[in-house]
Amino acid sequence: MQAISRLLICSFAAITVGACASASVPVRNFAAVPIGAKSPPTLDDVGKAIVKAGVAAGWQMSDIKPGYIIGTYKIRKHMAVVDVMYSTTTYNIAFKTGDESLRYDSQAQTIHQNYNGWVENLEVLIRAHVNAL
């Protein structure tokens, strides 16, 4: 009887850990993040810094037009795409789309928990690059 109880407890723990590993969490976006550059940067300087930061973080950065870059991150079976809108004073990073493995829920605004780590890493590098201007 004790062996069966332990087996049930271990099975429950394994299921719980497995469920947590693939949990959905609220989507992390960044809005109106201030650029604290030493001197006023040009729009072109900010765009170049964002592209450089994205590449350093492992993202493919597509410069669409001044003030707008699309970032794409691919790892294993996952793919995430973000919009990066920027000016000479602020920038925004917002989830655009992703593949099915990210389990994005537009109603609940939730996504696979790994996405937030990827976009937070991107934001840290962007902040460092634009603030160094």
- The residue ranges of every structural domain in the chain are 25-131
CA-to-CA distance for 99 and 45, rounded, in angstroms? 31
Q: How many CA atoms lie within 13 A of 91 on its CB side?
A: 32
**Secondary structure (DSSP) of 34-70:** EP--SSPPPHHHHHHHHHHHHHHTT-EEEEEETTEEE
What is the chain's pLDDT, residue by residue, as a tens digit (133 residues)?
A: 454 444 334 333 333 334 444 688 999 999 999 999 889 999 999 999 999 999 999 999 999 999 999 999 999 889 999 999 999 999 999 999 998 989 999 999 999 999 999 999 999 999 999 999 9
Q: Nearest-CA neighbor of 26 among 109, 98, 100, 104?
A: 109
Query: What kind of fold does domain 25-131 have according to CATH?
Result: TATA-Binding Protein (3.30.310)
Cβ neighbours of residue 59 closer than 8 Å, sequence gap 6 or more: 71, 72, 73, 122
pTM of the predicted structure, to 2 decimals: 0.82
